Amino acid sequence: MSCCGKRKKRGLVVFMTVRFGDPNGQDSITFRHRNNARSRRELMVNLSEEQQVTYTITDVKTRKGNPAEIDGNVSWAVSDPTAVTLEVDTASPNQRTATVKGVTGTGVRISDVTAVFDGRSGEGVALVTLVDQVVVSDADAIVGTLTPGEVTDQP
């Protein structure tokens, strides 16, 4: 199956390429299942509970690749508030920027970050939904203090 995947020893590798208006594939994302995502951008963000990432909606385009505008404000949400918190930058145009911060917890936590906006200027609504996944893990120890005890004679 050359269009949908190829057979490897460990099973089927499924892939799909999505192109966004650029005939040379400059704006493409390749999704892979079972292997590492090999794409222009990873399909998820990995954070420790001490890190954060800022999302900004850019390159809003029509179906034919022409520039488009966001009508109104962006609506942001996270699927698991025990994994991440969300702070929307209300000063950004159309509230198109938000910061996601890892939350202290135990083990690996996963949350979807969703941004929804109206992509039709003027009357009517054409909702556009953008989703990314954030994986939050415990912060690793990187420093410590070695404190000596009292010096005593050996028995």
Total number of domains constituting the chain: 2
User: Has residue 146 been placed in a domain?
Assistant: no
CB 88 within 8 A of CB 130: no
Number of neighbours of residue 153 by Cβ within 10 angstroms: 4
> In the numeric block, which tokens belong to residue 33?
């299942």
Same-domain status, 64 and 128:
yes
Q: Is residue 73 part of a domain?
A: yes
Same domain, 52 and 116: yes
**93 located within any domain:** yes
Residues 78 and 93 placed together within one structural domain of the fold: yes
Model pTM above 0.85 = no
Single-letter code of the amino acid located at 18: V
Residue 84 lies in a domain: yes
In whole angstroms, give the CA distance from residue 135 to residue 47: 6
**What tens digit of pLDDT does each residue of 98-112 get?**
999 999 888 899 999
**d(Cα 108, Cα 136) in Å, to the nearest integer?**
6
Q: Quick one: 26 and 54 in the same domain?
A: no
For residue 10, pLDDT beyond 50: no
pLDDT number for residue 124: 86
- Domain containing 70 equals 44-137
Give the mean pLDDT of 102-124.
89
pLDDT digits (tens, 9 = 90+) for 15-62: 444 444 444 444 434 443 333 333 344 568 899 999 999 999 988 988
Domain CATH for 124: 2.60.40.10
Quick check: 11 pLDDT over 80? no
